[in-house]
Amino acid sequence: MFVRDDALIFYGTHDKLHFTRWAEIEASFRRQSEILKDLVCRITGDVQVRLLAGGAAACAGTAGFGIHATMGGVRFDLPALRLTCTVERHGDHWRFVQLHLSVSDRPFLDSVGHVLESA
C-alpha cells in the first residue's frame, strides 16, 4: 500500500508517532494492527484525481471518507474525514507516497445551518 522507502516521514496524531524510516513505520503499523479490529473504511464523497508526471503519479482527495473500527476493545466511528494523497505508479499498482486525513467540519456546519460558499 505504501512505498517502502527510507525517505518516508510519518507524523501521527501525537508526539510519540514520528517515524523517519520505512522499518519504523512498518513496525508501528504492525503494533497498531494488533489491537485494531473490525476495520471498515468507506468513501462516501466524490474523489478528485489529477494525474502528474505523464501518469507516473497522481494526487487525489475526497471530503467524504470514514473509518470505523474497534481499538483496544473500544469501538470508534470517524464518519466525516477528508483524505488527500499522492500515489506513484509501480508497474500495475499504485503506492502511497503521501497520505493525510483530517476531520471535516461539514457535519457541524450542516447541523447549525451554515452554507459554505464555493471558491
Over its length of 119 residues, how does the chain's per-residue pLDDT go in tens digits?
A: 667 776 767 776 667 777 777 888 788 888 888 888 999 999 999 999 999 999 999 999 998 999 999 988 899 898 889 999 999 999 999 988 888 888 877 766 777 777 767 65
Residue 119: predicted pLDDT: 55
Through-space distance between the first and last CA atoms of the chain, rounded to whole angstroms = 33
For the chain, the domains span 10-111
Residue 74: predicted pLDDT: 92
Residue 14: predicted pLDDT: 65
Helix H or strand E encompassing 101 = strand 93-103
Q: For 70, phi and psi rounded to 5 degrees? A: -120, 130
* CATH annotation of 10-111: 3.10.450.50
Handedness of CA 63, 60, 76, 10 (dihedral sign): negative
Number of neighbours of residue 62 by Cβ within 10 angstroms: 17
Residue 23: predicted pLDDT: 83
DSSP alpha helix (H) spans, the chain: 22-35, 106-111
Q: For 109, phi and psi rounded to 5 degrees? A: -60, -40
Residue 17 DSSP code: -
Residue 17: predicted pLDDT: 73
